[in-house]
Structure 1
Amino acid sequence: MGRKYMETQYHTHALSPNQCTSKVRQTIHAPLHLVWSVVRQFDNPQSYKRFVRSCDMRSGHGGAGSMRELTVVSGLPAGRSTERLDRLDDDLHVMVCSIIGGDHKLVNYKSIITLHEDDEGERGGGGACGTVVIESYVVDIPADSCEEDTCLFADTIIGCNLKSLAKIAEKMCFDELHF
């Protein structure tokens, strides 16, 4: 399956009234299998998500249906978040998570992450030279907010997480090549 098909298949969301959606992409200079090995660790999101202080598994062992309780770093408008892993597909490199509780305003939040080989040369030069990560979401717009602010908040968090993922995966790739 090509990236364009996967993007249409997984990152096109049907919205209910008072919901918003957005999509963030990040090109990473590391092979897909290496990037996926970090992303797929539902029980260890703090390995690249810098806003997560700790993760306690509430049920499951990191497969679909597993639930985790995240403790968030101070300074964010939340302290904890309860999340469920809805889908984990190692063949298609798809991960779907839902926030099902917590002390924050992200109600009915569902995110989808897909990884793709950079076979269209987004880095330049063509050929499979890295990985493109796409994360999209759908979420209710809080009563005291607007669509623009809700998307800005979520996009900022996701963007920071994906930049951190890129830095970590690229370092892992460099270390793999030089040892």
Structure 2
Amino acid sequence: MIHAPLPLVWSILRKFSNPQSYKQFVKSCDMVSGNGATGSVREVTVVSGLPAGRSTERLDRLDDDLHLMVVSIVGGDHKLLNYKSTTTVHEEEQEEEGGRTGTMVMESYVVDVPADSCEEDTCLFADTIIGCNLKSLAKITEKLVRLDVA
């Protein structure tokens, strides 16, 4: 649960051309084609220390009404083969916050297991990256909410 309003969270998450605004493992992003709408392709440079240097990704679907984003990895020097993620964003009431609304972000994926790996290691890697990205998104948006209230 992110303690920030859905419009704020979605406004950051949906920017396909700027994943480094919240994804801490992204060093830079260059648009290969498109302007961030469905069908756009980006080349992401990953920070050093990870078992990859770059990732080529395509925005398969972006729906601002449903708050839905589908991204496929179509190239790069990593082990996430045929990776496709679906991210959805929903508004939820926060009981612990006196009924205020917050935002739930859910990201699911499908990926092929490389020949030199196993399903457990592949999923652990993907889950760790997604978890770090979502924690970073929460930290950034919640900080923006605190700054706006102050």
Q: Same fold (TM over 0.5)?
A: yes
Partner of 1:39: 13
Which one has a larger percent strand, Structure 1 or Structure 2? 2
Q: 1:14-56: CA deviations, max 9, x gaps?
A: xxxxxxxxxxxxx100000000000000000000000000000
Distance 2:99 2:33 in 1: 41
- Give 1:21's aligned residue: none
1:153 and 2:125 aligned:
yes
**SS at 1:156's partner residue?**
helix
For residues 168 and 125 of structure 1, what CA distance do their matches in structure 2 show? Answer: 19
- One of 95, 102, 106 as aligned partner of 1:130: 102
The structure showing larger relative contact order (alpha-carbon pairs under 8 Å, at least 6 residues apart) is 1
Query: What percentage of aligned pairs have identical amino acids?
Result: 73
Aligned residues: 150
- The alpha carbon displacement at 1:153 in A equals 0.5
Secondary structure of 2:101 counterpart: coil
CA distance in 2, matches of 1:136, 1:116: 14
**What is the alpha-carbon root mean square deviation over aligned residues?**
1.2
Instruction: Give the letter for the 1:76 counterpart.
Output: L
TM-score by length of 1: 0.81
2:38 maps to: 64
In 2: Cα distance, 1:65 partner to 1:174 partner: 35
Quote the Cα distance in structure 2 between the aligned partners of 1:42 and 1:176.
Answer: 25
Q: Could you tell me how far 1:103 is from its partner in structure 2?
A: 0.5
